[in-house]
Amino acid sequence: MKISKEFIEKIPKTDLHLHLDGSLRISTLIELAKESGVELPAYDEPELRRLVFKSQYASLPEYLKGFLYTTTVLQTASALERVGYELAQDNQNEGVRYIEVRFAPQLHQNPRMSCVEVLAALDRGLAKAKAEFNARAEVRSGEEPPFEYGIIACAMRMFDYGFSQYFDTLLNVHAYSERKWIFSLASMELVRAAVEARTTLNLPIVGFDLAGAEAGYPAEDHAQAYALAHKNFLKKTVHAGEAYGPESIFQAITDLHADRIGHAVYLFDADMIKSPEIKDKKAYIANLVQFIADRRITIEVCLTSNLQTIPALGDLSQHSFRHMRKAKLSATFCTDNRTVSQTTVSAEILKAVQAFSITPRELKNFVIYGFKRSFFPGTYIKKREYVHQIIDYYEKIEKQFS
């Protein structure tokens, strides 16, 4: 069977690395900006795409520029609810049946809205879209699998004045404290809020994440927060190996108990190892890869985003996914930021198929990895049932295209 664009769009898919503030509709961004008085460089979609949300970026700072506008308009419960609803719809429309929406609630927290209330607002939007989709006759009859979702609370490796009202207040209150202690404190507060939202409001807060600048801001600064998340049975993922080397990935796994790794672009790059204590760099990488493989630690691969933020990659033929594939690592394709990267899950899979000549059997494995290694909010029994539904539906689509 030839893997076509139409086949990819039909099969059930996941997106396990999906940033809320990088994935709202540009039309919605414009409307919310007008409502809230936020100044944009332009107020029509083509011009905003030309100036901000490009297909190619010159640097990571340019890539991140768009987030300044998206986070600024997402400072009310109604805005968060709306973008959550629309994001779920956008995924449903391309055959995505399970998403884990990650975002940093503390970027949206303000005197009018607590961290728990931020999480609850997003959940209302996602829950509304889920209820509408699952009320369809095809889902109720069992012909199609239902749509499900989880929410991942994302901490920041570092922050400064201007990031959000919450972070400004924290920095003012602890002005004379060591910065890394303040970063750790913010992460601890976020874990507590995530646990509270899950236990008191029964929100599907399924995981905890760490994002932001890797160089100079080690994961170990947040070990206490991850230990608290671990004790409260929150699953754990970490952005690592996106702008730093294998040591960052090792630290995420060992110090933060990571169940999954976001990006891991530099997992196989010996030149990125900085520690003078590591004498045999090739052996270090081999042992790390073996460790990841043995424990089925899944890598959230974001091809388009990586090409945009790491221009040195050149093209997909140089992406480390080729090594992940050869090493038989558990990996799944994700968008990272649907709007900022101008992509979809279907587009990411199609790029992978074309660039790496992925076989139908391999594709099925990568897609199913997404469901199996998800932080599914239900019980293990329910997750198994759901995965079996997905596999049955996938095989049904396969027969239609064979």
CATH number of the domain within which 88 lies: 3.20.20.140
Candidate from 50-64, 211-225, 365-379 with smallest mean pLDDT? 50-64
Q: Answer positive or negative: Cα dihedral of 183, 185, 188, 193.
A: negative
The number of distinct structural domains making up the chain is: 1
Token duo for residue 59: 């640097």
CB 146 within 8 A of CB 139: yes
pLDDT band at 65 (very low <50, low <70, confident <90, very high): confident
Q: How far apart are CA 40 and CA 52, in angstroms?
A: 10
d(CA 297, CA 118): 30
Q: What percentage of the chain has pLDDT greater than the value 90? A: 91
Alpha-carbon dihedral of residues 196, 253, 100, 244, nearest 10 degrees?
Answer: 120
Please provide the average confidence, as pLDDT, over all residues in the chain: 96
- Tell me: pLDDT of 61 over 80: no
Q: Strands, DSSP E only, in 29-160?
A: 96-103, 148-156
Query: Would you call 315 exposed, middle or buried from its count of C-beta atoms within 10 A (0-12, 13-18, 19+)?
Result: exposed
- CA–CA–CA angle 259, 349, 93 (5° rounding): 95
Full domain range(s) for residue 372: 5-401
Identify the H or E element spanning 208.
strand 205-211
pLDDT value of residue 312: 81
Structure-derived torsion over alpha carbons of residues 120, 121, 124, 129, reported in degrees to the nearest 10: -130
For residue 313, pLDDT beyond 90: no
Is the pLDDT at 92 greater than 90? The verdict is yes
State the DSSP H helix or E strand holding residue 69, giving kind and residue range, or none if neither. Answer: helix 60-73
Q: pLDDT, tens digit, for every residue of 162-176?
A: 999 999 999 999 988
The reply to whether 242 belongs to the active site is: yes
Distance CA 135, CA 129 (A): 10
Please, which pLDDT band fits residue 99 given cuts at 50, 70 and 90?
very high
Catalytic residue, candidates 117, 242, 247, 300: 242
> What proportion of the chain, given as a percentage, has pLDDT over 70?
100
User: Of the ranges 53-62, 90-99, 288-297, which one carries the lowest mean pLDDT score?
Assistant: 53-62
Angle (nearest 5°) at CA 273 between 269 and 276:
150
314: pLDDT strictly greater than 90: no
pLDDT digits 0-9 by tens, 231-254: 999 999 999 999 889 999 999 999
> Mean pLDDT across the stretch 81-102?
98
Gyration radius (Cα) of the chain, Å: 20
CB atoms within 10 A of CB 381: 8
**Alpha carbons 390 and 387: distance in angstroms, whole number:** 5
Structure tokens belonging to residue 388: 């079996």
Query: Could you tell me the pLDDT band of residue 71, with boundaries at 50, 70 and 90?
Result: very high
